[in-house]
Amino acid sequence: MASWYGPGFHGHKTSAGAYYDQEDLTAASIDFPLGSRVMVTNLDNGRSVEVTITDRGPFMKGRKIDLSHKAARVIGMLDPGTARVRISLISKPAGTREVGAPLRYVVQAGSF
């Protein structure tokens, strides 16, 4: 499931450090590394859009991606607000974890 976000976040900083512009072709996801390019296809109408992951989210159970206002308009999901989608990875930044790989944490302890 995909949803979209726009007016309330427009002009605020994203997790990637850029300012969110709801009319850019961007998205938020926790499943893909920041900077990844993905193709999102609306399964109800077959329309697709290529977006860059610039933020983290969505934080609603069952949703995998939040599209920008423009991206949601391109695939025809503005009015319903959500859509069943297929997300295909196009590219990811070099040196980032593999998509689907568990997050790895390192703990360092010291006595000074």
* 21: CATH: 2.40.40.10
Residue 26, in any domain of the structure? yes
Q: pLDDT-derived band of residue 48, with 50, 70 and 90 as boundaries?
A: very high
Q: Are 92 and 36 in contact (CB under 8 A)?
A: yes
pLDDT at 110 over 70: yes
Q: What percent of the chain has pLDDT over 90?
A: 78
* Structural domain span for residue 66: 2-91
Residue 83, in any domain of the structure? yes
Residue 106, in any domain of the structure? no
> What's the per-residue H, E or C state across the chain?
CEEEECCCCCCCECCCCCECCCCCCEEECCCCCCCCEEEEEECCCCCEEEEEEEECCCCCCCCCEEEEHHHHHHCCCCCCCEECEEEEEEECCCCCCCCCCCCCCCCCCCCC
How far, in Å, CA of 69 to CA of 59, rounded?
17
- pLDDT, residue 98, reads 82
Number of domains within the chain:
1
Residue 71, in any domain of the structure? yes
Question: How many residues in total does the chain contain?
Answer: 112
Residue 109, in any domain of the structure? no
Average pLDDT over residues 67-80: 97
What pLDDT digit, counting tens, does each position of 16-39 carry?
A: 999 999 999 999 999 999 999 999
